[in-house]
Amino acid sequence: MFFTLAGAHFDFRMIDTVGGLTLLIILGRFVGKLLGSRLGARISQAPQVVRKYLGFALLPKAGVTVGLVLAAKEVFGPTYQAEVMVNAVLGSVIINELLTPFFVRFALFRAGEATRT
């Protein structure tokens, strides 16, 4: 129900306006997670398999992000900037939720944490 209500705030007519910002959010987040987890694992002297695959397992996002952007929309009120913010973030969540399960599966199998039955 939560994601249905959040999706109701997504305006497909704004895709031209927020498409670039959405991709920037996705790429920035992916790069940050991948590099940050690798650096953190190296600093903590984690095993090589953790250094290599942890970032992929950290990519999914949804609930908190949606809740925060909808709360921020209430703070900003009914402005164009608020609409751009909401649609860019919701667009990134939608794309993220379509792509990242495959990355997590990849990471779990490659790290030896899951097996095919």
pLDDT interval class at 2 (50, 70, 90): low
Q: How many separate domains does the chain show?
A: 1
Asked if the structure places residue 89 within a domain, the reply is yes
d(CA 25, CA 21): 6
Which residues, at least 6 apart from 94, have a Cβ–Cβ distance to it below 8 Å? 7, 10
Q: By C-alpha distance, which of 97, 65, 84, 109 is closest to 14?
A: 84
Say which DSSP state 12 is in: G
Residue 63 lies in a domain: yes
10 pLDDT higher than 80 = no
| pLDDT tens digits, one per residue of 40-67 | 999 999 999 999 999 998 888 777 788 8
Residue with tokens 């920037």: 24
Question: Would residue 29 count as lying in a domain?
Answer: yes
SS (H, E, C) 48-65: HHHHHHHHHHCCCCCHHH
What's the domain range around 52? 2-110
Give the alpha-carbon dihedral of 64, 67, 71, 72, to 10 degrees: 60
Which of 102, 105, 101 lies closest to 115 in space, CA to CA?
105
Per the domain annotation, does 115 fall within a domain?
no
Tell me, what's the pLDDT at 1?
Answer: 60
The mean pLDDT value for 95-116 works out to 89
Instruction: Give the model confidence (pLDDT) of 12-42 as tens digits.
Output: 788 888 889 989 999 999 999 999 999 999 9
pTM of the model: 0.75
pLDDT at position 3: 65
**Looking at the domain assignment, is residue 103 inside a domain?**
yes
